[in-house]
Structure 1
Amino acid sequence: MIGSVYRRYIKNNLFMKLLLSFALITILTIITLSYLMYHVMSQSVVQREMDNQKKAMESVNAFLSEKYESVQSMVLGVYRDPRLAADISYFLQHDFRDYIEHGLNRYYEEDVAPYGLSYFANRLEDDPDIRNLMLYSAEKQYLYVYNRQKSAKLHMTDAVHSYIPDAMALDNKNVSVPNPWIRKEIDQWDPRLFAVRAVMNDKNSLKYIGQLLIYFDSDGIWKSLASYKETLKGTILVLTPNGDVIFDSSGTYYGKSYPYMGQIQQETGMLEQESYITTLAQNQAGYVVVGTIPKQEIAAASQGWKRTIIIASVLGILIAILFPSLVVINFAKRTNKIIRFMKKVETGDLTSRIIEPKEDELGQISRSFNDMLDELNRYIERVYKAEIRQKHTEFVALQARVNPHFLYNTLEVIRMRAISQGAQDVAEMIFSLSALFRNVVQQKAVYTLKDELEACRLYLELFRIRYKDRFTYAIECDRELYGIPVVKMFLQPIIENYIVHGIEADRDDNHAVIRFSRENGTIRVRVEDNGRGIEPQRLEEIKEALGAPEEIGGSFGLRVVYERLKLLHGNRAGMELKSKPGVGTTVTVWFPEKEGAGESDV
């Protein structure tokens, strides 16, 4: 399909090639500039969105750091108050019953009520994001838990019956997700929580005595993102080093391990989809804030610019191509006009003239073409017609070679005498010769292929009788071709060459075949024989002699037939010779069917 379009509209069309080349250069230039502009603007959009997300990540980090610092401040507040520190230290190193008795005794002795546990209960009021506050005794292995309503409950978690002591001992991360064993123990299954822990030591001995563990509501982080809610793109996550999800702005990975931990150190990576990645690590608290923006989401933000650039590019291309195209089309029309007149001249109309008033290059070509036609007409009058007359003279000479000057009616008298004498074969030969001479002498307005075939048959019949059973011939022609006008006696010289030079009298299988065929408006005649053949050197000499003027002599008949066909039909007619010594010779003649002409044309 593409190949046919190219051959039909582009291959031989100079103006179309120029127009396509200019259009291609223009399109490539505008597309390249548009792409560079879009690339620069896209990078600007990417950088703006990533900067905005990084500010949001810093806000999240500040929120978490604040929670971490607030827990550390609670512990420092205990250490700053000696009585409070002593009360909490006693609480974490004794049974709860002993702690209650110890507090009552001090109240009776010093008239001062213990306020260690109330210190932590009051912290619940200071921070609405706290969901649970827990004190863990490492020595007694119990967990004292406050909920949001300040209700307190003591949970015994000895190592024999619980995994919590091991979990508390092994978990050294300051900020993490809640431990599942602790969740189960306190019946806290909200996935949107994060844990902040602080180690508690005895103030005097610095001995490790327990931990302060606080569960914060992860949704509280949204308060730090309030100013970015409308403009923020992508997802912000807070992850522990082993991939546990502390916060997920998309809400997808709560309660799961983040599946793309291996990719977060890259600037871009394949997550759910190809994304830009930014990280912000908090080494002291032990978490990392991760920001991801899908490239597709960034691209969507650039769609407005993209549409504008595309529209501007298309308009630029149309304007840059349209106006030059109008100029090129005008030149193409003028050129096609010249070509049409040239084709009219090709068909034989030498009276046509190109009217071109402009003085540019095409106008000069038109005037030169008109001058050439004038000169050509003068040349035809002076030379071409004289040459046609010369060809006619040569043809008459050819006819004279095979046309003795006696009348065919005399031959008829001789034929009758031969019959009366019983020489039947002689009578047949004289009849064929008489009919052949009648055909040669007869003048017809239109000489058809049927007439030529009859002449050939009579000629071949003479030699069939002469050689009796040693020579046969065949003529193969579709009857539909009989009415086609042809050049008179264009086959007889070819057959004569075989009879004179090719037939072998000592053979019993001499044979000649004449085949006619029609191929795409062209008549092809093939004359084949099984005679002596032609030596290669002699064959080349004959081929060279076809197109060269020679005196009457060798190959005269073939040369005259060839020149007459060329004269009447031009390059659409021709002759081809093939021969092998000892095998035979094939002569092929072809000429256009519709342009055929009778003998009267020459």
Structure 2
Amino acid sequence: MVRKLYRNYFKNNVFLKMILLYSGITIVTIITLSYLMFRSMSQSIVEKELDIQKNAMESVSRYLDDKYVAVKDMTIATYRNESLSSNLSYFLTHPFQEYAQHKLDQYYNENADKSTDVLEFLKDQLNNDADIRNLMLYSADQQNLFAFDQNKHFNMVSTNAAHSYIPDAMAQESTHISLPNVWVRTAINQWDSRLFSIRVPLNDKMTLKNIGQLLVFYDADKISNVLSSYKDKLKGDITVISVDGRVLYDSTSQYYEKSYPYAEQTSLYSNKSTKPADKGMYINKLISNEGGYIVIGAVPKNVISQAYNGLRNTIIMISAICIIISIVIPSLFVANYAKRTNGIIKFTRKVKNGDLKARIEDHGEDELGQISKSFNNMMDDLNLYIDRVFKAEIKQNHTELAALQARINPHFLYNTLEVIRMRAISQGAGDVSEMIYILSVLFKSLVQQKEIHLFKDELEACRLYLELFRIRFKDKFSFQIDIDPIHSSRVVMKMSLQPLIENYIVHGIRTERTDNQLSIRVLQEIGFIKVIIEDNGRGIDPQRLAQIKDSLDKPEEEGGSFGLRSVHARLKLLYGASYGIDIQSELDNGTTVIVWFPDMEGKGNQYV
């Protein structure tokens, strides 16, 4: 079955092979380019989405760093104020009742303002930062915890080591951002899971001895405000974890008080790196060494793929349209060429079967159209050639018949002319007698059949013809023939000069003048014999001369006599395009006719 289909439709059908080959190449090329373009553009979209997530992560990191710096600035502010620093040291190293008495004495003795009061200072910090949920001071000497909530409610909690683990937790020096300590939560009754803690040690300014800790609980949900500007662009989740892997902030709120599932994988990544945690997830990681936290961005691949699903569908649609267009349109063109080619094949079969009137109906200007026109022109030329050859054979037969009839008994004409000549002599008409004699000789030379016709023969015929008119016009006309004897033996076409001389006698001579002259000169040039026929007759009008020159290359009219066109056409036909006639003339100043012949010696029956 396959072989039959191949044999019937593919084996000898070059156009179908071209279509299939082109279609295959086109489909493979478009699919390959579409895949590469989709891969490049989708990767660009993925990178763009991940860059957006990285920017959001950096915003979160800047927020946390700002809070970390803000807590440090609180301690620096206390050190810069001598009175406040002194009061803070006194506050952390003495019982609260003594500090209260100490401040009261300062008001009475020194008129101190409230800005140097530790508790007022803490309230001011709460006023300055609305993100603070709890602000606490821990006294290492007194083992007391002094706490303010966001509503500025003050609470003092005794954290004696015998009854609380808070002193042990505070003894661990850690300045990292972390989750609030569970014992501190218990002490101040703060159980909100969405908090993160920043702790800074407090030292005595004079002795540099650690006297306590500044502890701040921040609302983790406030981080979401930072991400609000990315709300419509951000894809995936952002999570902040501490160095021990505990969740400080989760944009989805699903990992609070839980272990982050990708904590172990992210520990293997370098800072600011992007890695797939598994086959279905992209992970971005940003580490803060000073703050001791890690910002992680996680986005599922299927979420990012939604960003380029439309692109994929668009590329598939455009690729399909391109494939259809690139196959259908060329196929239509190829089918048209195949149809035209089949028309040419059918035409050749018709011609092969003898239908010479068949023509190809194709008016295109392309290669097939030119081939069709060439075939049609060839058929026209072939038919014309057949007609010409056929008619030429008929003419040749008539010519041969006429020649045979003329050669039946030419002596009858000679004898008749001789009788007339003798009668003219008896009557005393000597000039008539001479003219009849010349005519008889001229007629004999024209009728006589010779194998080789030479220049001397052609010039003798011209001399006899001119002699007739010299006798007729007596002293009004003279002629001169100049030829080197070496040129007399050159072969020449019969009746090639006499018609040109006849044109002068008929059209150029002026009978009212007595100085009519005609000269014939035969010259030799390289490869040519040049004959110059020059007269001083009427000349030719420039417009008429242009018409004559233009008519030289036109076909000879049926039934026309010998003349310029006849001689010119025969010379080109016999010898080639380099030979023929050239005419120069001025009105009332005579005419010059130049005839170009090949330089050939007689070697048999040549152009008789």
Give per-residue Cα distances to partners, 1:443-464, cap 9 Å, x unaligned. xxxxxxxxxxxxxxxxxxxxxx
Aligned equivalents of 1:135, 1:253: Cα separation in 2:
30
Aligned equivalents of 2:6, 2:173: Cα separation in 1:
78
Structure 1 residue 18: Cα displacement: 6.8
Secondary structure of the residue that 2:314 maps to in structure 1? helix
Give per-residue Cα distances to partners, 1:123-168, cap 9 Å, x unaligned. 1111110100011112222211100110011112222222222222
Whether contact under 8 Å (1:263, 1:269) holds in the other structure is no
**TM alignment of 1:417-566, pairs within 5 A:** none
1:287 alignment partner, one of 285, 293, 305: 293
Aligned equivalents of 1:365, 1:169: Cα separation in 2:
111
Aligned equivalents of 1:27, 1:141: Cα separation in 2:
81
**TM alignment of 1:152-171, pairs within 5 A:** 152-170=154-172
Structure 1 residue 366: Cα displacement: 12
Give per-residue Cα distances to partners, 1:173-212, cap 9 Å, x unaligned. 3311212222222221222211111110011100011110
Letter in 2 for 1:77: A
What residue number does 2:79 align with? Answer: 79
Compared CA separation, residues 25 and 102, structure 1 to 2 (3 A): same
What residue number does 2:343 align with? Answer: 358
What residue number does 2:99 align with? Answer: 99
Q: Structure 2 regions of 5+ residues with no counterpart?
A: 353-608
Aligned equivalents of 1:366, 1:179: Cα separation in 2:
106
Structure 1 residue 333: Cα displacement: 11
Compared CA separation, residues 359 and 258, structure 1 to 2 (3 A): same
Secondary structure of the residue that 1:36 maps to in structure 2? helix
Structure 1 residue 95: Cα displacement: 2.5
What residue number does 2:263 align with? Answer: 261
Whether contact under 8 Å (1:268, 1:275) holds in the other structure is no
Compared CA separation, residues 366 and 210, structure 1 to 2 (3 A): farther
- Is 1:308 matched up with 2:314? yes
What residue number does 1:222 align with? Answer: 224
Give per-residue Cα distances to partners, 1:35-90, cap 9 Å, x unaligned. 12112222222232233222222222221121111111111111111111111112
What residue number does 2:239 align with? Answer: 237
Whether contact under 8 Å (2:247, 2:260) holds in the other structure is yes
Compared CA separation, residues 357 and 157, structure 1 to 2 (3 A): closer
Compared CA separation, residues 365 and 38, structure 1 to 2 (3 A): farther
What residue number does 1:115 align with? Answer: 117
Compared CA separation, residues 366 and 33, structure 1 to 2 (3 A): farther
Letter in 2 for 1:163: Y
What residue number does 1:187 align with? Answer: 189
Query: Which stretch of the first structure deviates more once superposed, 99-108 or 195-204?
Result: 99-108
Secondary structure of the residue that 1:232 maps to in structure 2? coil
What residue number does 1:144 align with? Answer: 146
Compared CA separation, residues 108 and 268, structure 1 to 2 (3 A): closer
- Is 1:38 matched up with 2:23? no
Aligned equivalents of 1:152, 1:7: Cα separation in 2:
99
Whether contact under 8 Å (1:195, 1:216) holds in the other structure is yes
Aligned equivalents of 1:365, 1:123: Cα separation in 2:
107
Aligned equivalents of 2:160, 2:4: Cα separation in 1:
94
Aligned equivalents of 1:143, 1:268: Cα separation in 2:
43
Whether contact under 8 Å (1:52, 1:232) holds in the other structure is yes
Whether contact under 8 Å (1:273, 1:294) holds in the other structure is no
Letter in 2 for 1:47: E
Q: Percent identity?
A: 45
- Is 1:205 matched up with 2:207? yes
Secondary structure of the residue that 2:87 maps to in structure 1? helix
Aligned equivalents of 1:9, 1:184: Cα separation in 2:
89
Aligned equivalents of 2:7, 2:168: Cα separation in 1:
85
Secondary structure of the residue that 1:288 maps to in structure 2? strand
Secondary structure of the residue that 1:238 maps to in structure 2? strand
Letter in 1 for 2:49: E
Aligned equivalents of 1:126, 1:295: Cα separation in 2:
42
Secondary structure of the residue that 1:302 maps to in structure 2? helix
Aligned equivalents of 1:30, 1:365: Cα separation in 2:
42
Compared CA separation, residues 106 and 329, structure 1 to 2 (3 A): same
Compared CA separation, residues 12 and 87, structure 1 to 2 (3 A): farther
Query: Which stretch of the first structure deviates more once superposed, 16-25 or 200-209?
Result: 16-25
Structure 1 residue 10: Cα displacement: 7.2
Aligned equivalents of 1:271, 1:287: Cα separation in 2:
19
What residue number does 2:26 align with? Answer: 26
Compared CA separation, residues 151 and 30, structure 1 to 2 (3 A): same
Compared CA separation, residues 328 and 183, structure 1 to 2 (3 A): same
Q: Structure 1 regions of 5+ residues with no counterpart?
A: 335-355, 369-602
Whether contact under 8 Å (1:268, 1:274) holds in the other structure is no
Aligned equivalents of 1:62, 1:364: Cα separation in 2:
87
Compared CA separation, residues 325 and 209, structure 1 to 2 (3 A): same
- Is 1:299 matched up with 2:284? no
Structure 1 residue 259: Cα displacement: 1.9
Compared CA separation, residues 300 and 357, structure 1 to 2 (3 A): closer
Letter in 2 for 1:60: V
Letter in 2 for 1:165: P
Q: How many residues align?
A: 343
What residue number does 2:592 align with? Answer: none
Structure 1 residue 357: Cα displacement: 6.7
Secondary structure of the residue that 2:295 maps to in structure 1? strand
Give per-residue Cα distances to partners, 1:325-358, cap 9 Å, x unaligned. 5678899999xxxxxxxxxxxxxxxxxxxxx973
Whether contact under 8 Å (2:285, 2:296) holds in the other structure is yes
Compared CA separation, residues 170 and 323, structure 1 to 2 (3 A): same
What residue number does 1:64 align with? Answer: 64
Aligned equivalents of 1:364, 1:173: Cα separation in 2:
100
Whether contact under 8 Å (2:103, 2:117) holds in the other structure is no
Whether contact under 8 Å (1:53, 1:233) holds in the other structure is yes
RMSD: 3.3
TM-score (norm 1): 0.51
Letter in 1 for 2:290: Q
Structure 1 residue 17: Cα displacement: 7.6
Aligned equivalents of 2:106, 2:310: Cα separation in 1:
75
What residue number does 1:339 align with? Answer: none
Whether contact under 8 Å (1:10, 1:17) holds in the other structure is no
Aligned equivalents of 2:274, 2:118: Cα separation in 1:
51
Letter in 2 for 1:72: K
Compared CA separation, residues 159 and 293, structure 1 to 2 (3 A): same
Q: Give 1 or 2 for the bigger CA radius of gyration.
A: 2
Aligned equivalents of 2:5, 2:185: Cα separation in 1:
79
